[in-house]
Structures are given as C-alpha cells and as structure tokens.
Chain A
C-alpha cells in the first residue's frame, strides 16, 4: 500500500489513468473471460459425451442463444410449460366473452389453484402453465388498468393491455439473466370496439381469437370450437356459456364435468367481469345436460358415485343437492382463493 492508495477527491486519479491499476484491472478482466470460455467449452464437452435423444442440442442453455436454424429453444420450452398446465378456454360473441377453465386440486385435502383473475371490471384473464408467473402478470395487468383509469378516467382498451403484456414477455426473451414467463394467458375483455379475446404466449406474441383453448388436452376443445365458432358471434349469453361448458367437457376425456372442477367467468355489455358461483354453474351443467358419457339413467338406478349422478335427468332442484355435495368441501376454499 502506498500513500497513493489513500488519496481521495482531487488528488486521486481515475483508475484508467493510473497505469498500475489499469493493468491490474485488465488482467482481472482477461481472467474472467477465460473462465467463462472455459466453462462454455466444458458444457459442450459434457453435452457431446452424454447423448440424450430428448436433449436436442447445445443451443438451449441460454435464452439469448440462437440455434443454427434460427430458433430460441428456451422460449419454445416455455411454450411447452403452457401445454402442461390444465386447460383454459375462451370464447367470445359480439357482446360477451366467456373464460372457462379446469380447476383440479392436487389432492382432496388441498384447495384448487386460482386460474382466472379479474383484472378490471371489463377485463379478465385465464391462465395455463406456471400459475405463479400468471399471478405476477395479473398483478401487473391490474396495476396497468388502475393507472390508466386514474390518468384517463376511462377503462384501458384490451388491445393496449395485451401489447404491454406482450412487450413485457418479449423482454424476458432477450436478457441473459431472465427467463421467459412460463404461462399462457387468455385475456378476455370489453371495450369501445367490442368484445375481444386474446392469447398471449411466453414468446411475446399475441393473437386475437374468436375462441381458443390452451393447456393440456386443449386440442379436443379446439376441435369442438373449430366446429362451432362461426355461430359464436351472434350467440346469446347463455349459449356462449353452454358452448364453453361443452368445450371444457371435451378436455376432460370422459371424466364427469361438475362445478367443483371447473370455473366459469363472464364479462359482457352491462355486465362487469365476474366468476359464476358453483351453484349457478352446476345448474347450468344440469340444464345443458353436459354431464358426460353416461347413458340416460333410470330413476330406479341408484347413483354409483357420491356426487350428483342424477344430474343428467333432473332439473334445478337436485342441482342444489349436488352443489351441496361439493360445497362443504369447498367452503374453506374461498378465503384462501386469492
């Protein structure tokens, strides 16, 4: 240590001017680079020696690395995460947008994850994939809506919100210290230009749809929607919900559709975004006879399972009983269900 080391203020030179310090600095930088290169080489060596059929290539370690074919594998892997989540479906008419999702709890003891979030009175979002990422993005969307309303005293147009969301997702595809969001969002909302349904990918792309489904086994729902989507534009509110329930049933592959495993939300002209409660949903399921593949059972045939198997034939009254079955198990859910 020399007296020079203690000098501050006007006496101290900038480190670049002091030759001794500058050389030391350069030496340190070089060491660091060498270290990185070494690590990179090491990883390649590792990848080459261990051959996995699933392990596509050595261009997927970083989101900021292009593959020779011009793909960003990390982003594509993020899209895979969306496909692993449970199904979410959206449909729209000229005046309403319905979001529906399958809400299966991990075990009988736990509550189910919240997959549909109210963003504002006129916008709601359904997610599939990493729910935590979805929750964070919903919070962002809510803040954006509140700030826009505060400044402009009017609701944020849906198209603007999805662009902001897409830009936010894009940032994560171009920073080496970040990872893409692992969640797909179906954003449904109403604004001056009508009802809209958008799908936001982890890649930062967004598309507008008449109807769409994401998540596991969504292809079955998409097939159903493709058949019927042309009728959605002028559909009534009830028919739209009915189609959502039918599409949802398609993703269950034979499993019984009850209100305890699904969530339906709707937003429309004169109707703020809200989630339909369990009893209403069960009532609608019964009304539309969306139960499942069960053949019409006789009154005499006793129900095999505990839950309301009689639903297919009975009108609203037993719906309450069926809903009660689900209700006690779920009563504890609501306060946690944030």
Chain B
C-alpha cells in the first residue's frame, strides 16, 4: 500500500523575477512583466509591483493568485492602520506586517517570493527580502524569482562590500547614484532574460525617493 499522492496541486508558478536596490536616498524596485505557466506565456504585460504605502513598494514573484491575495490583504490592513493612526505606515512597519501575514499562513503558505523596497524613517533606501513563510531581513539589495539565481551573483559582484570579513556594514545601502542603480538593474534583467525562459517581455522599474514615486519601462527580449 503506497502512500496516496495528490492528483492536483493548489499552487502554480507563474515565473518572473524581481529585484530591489537600496540607495542613500532612493530605492529602486524592478520586475519583469511576463506571466507564464509551464512552458506557455499567459501574458506579456502583467505588473508584479504594487505600492502599498507612500514609502513602501512590494514586488513579488511566484504564484500570482497568491500574490494578488497577499497584496489585497496588505492594502486592507494598511487602510485600517491609516484610520487608526492617522498616518501612513512606515516601510519597516510594513516589512513586519508582511512577515506576520506570511507566517500567518505557515501551514498553507502564500506561494509568493517578495521583495519590499522603500524609504526608512531617515529617508534612506531600504530593501527587505522574504521567503514564502515570512522570514525576512533588511538588506542593501535583493533578487527573487526564477531569474534570481542569475542576478544575485551579479549583484553580489557589483554591490557587496569589498571585504566579506568585515561585519555587515550598518549602512546596508549602496553608494551608487540613482541613475547608476537604474542602469545596473537594466543590465541585470537584460542578462537574466537571455538565459531564463520565464523572464522577459518588458521591465517595469519603480523608483522611490524624497520627491515621490516614478515608474519606467524598458523592452526586453520576447523569446
């Protein structure tokens, strides 16, 4: 009597890659816009990025139905927070909320691999990276999704502090300027698109800084 295997899965992977980089006074969050299932493309124009608060932007790859549900839950919670506290949620607060929300479903997780980017209390860029059940950490840059294995080593090479023997720098932000960071992100995605079949079509870049929020698009290879 062999153990009964499930004949269907509640999850599906819609692919895609997300990246976020924190700067001294800005934060760049980017993801591709391809949504796939198996070897097929569902759409070439799907945004994986959502602005949760005026200083928090989340990008998520994985199972987009779960991603959408997660986004709705967080938006509703943020609205509640605003009613109770008369102000917007800060990025560190949103980071904790996201972690708690993910862990809440520890035994039927959101199949969602998230990066949260924004500005902290001092106006510096902050990036938080998560796993599917809410384990999180503040970092200077991060990548999640199908192309992350290609992008993360490249970002490590470009952005990681020179000596790995030094204790992690308190300032986890990159010294690059905003334009340089955006350029770096573009390079990441162009490279990832070459080799990852689930990444491509279009790149959506969101930049958060003191003057507000800005969106940019760039075409990527469609194959």
Binding site for B on A (CB under 8 A): 118, 139, 142-143, 146-147, 149-150, 335, 337-338
Contacts and interface: CB of A to CB of B under 8 A. Distances in A.
- 7 tightest A-B contacts by CB? A142-B83, A150-B76, A146-B76, A146-B79, A338-B86, A150-B72, A146-B80
Among A143, A146, A337, which residue has the most Cβ atoms of chain B within 10 A? A146
Nearest to A142: B83
A272 to B, nearest CB: 12
A147 B76 CA distance: 8
A233 B212 CA distance: 38
A264 B195 CA distance: 59
B84 A149 contact: no
B80 A142 contact: yes
* Most chain A C-beta atoms within 10 Å of own C-beta, residue among B73, B79, B80, B85: B79
A185 to B, nearest CB: 16
B72 A118 contact: no
A149 B76 contact: yes
Contacts of B76: 146-147, 149-150
Nearest to A117: B83
B87 to A, nearest CB: 9
Contacts of A118: 83
A142 B78 CA distance: 12
A43 B83 CA distance: 45
Interface in B64-94: 72-73, 76, 79-80, 83-86
Interface residues of B, number: 9
A277 B86 CA distance: 15
B198 to A, nearest CB: 28
A335 B80 CA distance: 17
Given A142-B79, A146-B79, 17 more contacts: A118-B83, A139-B83, A142-B80, A142-B83, A143-B80, A146-B76, A146-B80, A147-B76, A149-B76, A150-B72, A150-B73, A150-B76, A335-B86, A337-B86, A338-B84, A338-B85, A338-B86
A338 B76 CA distance: 19
9 contacts: A146-B80, A147-B76, A149-B76, A150-B72, A150-B76, A335-B86, A337-B86, A338-B84, A338-B85
A284 B83 CA distance: 27
Contacts of A142: 79-80, 83
A38 to B, nearest CB: 47
A338 B72 CA distance: 25
B218 to A, nearest CB: 29
Nearest to B72: A150
Contacts of B83: 118, 139, 142
Contacts of A338: 84-86
A313 to B, nearest CB: 37
Nearest to A139: B83
A301 B91 CA distance: 55
Contacts of A146: 76, 79-80
A335 to B, nearest CB: 8
B76 to A, nearest CB: 5
A333 to B, nearest CB: 12
Nearest to B83: A142
Nearest to A338: B86
A147 B79 CA distance: 11
Contacts of B85: 338
Contacts of B79: 142, 146
A142 B85 CA distance: 13
Nearest to A141: B83
A143 B81 CA distance: 11
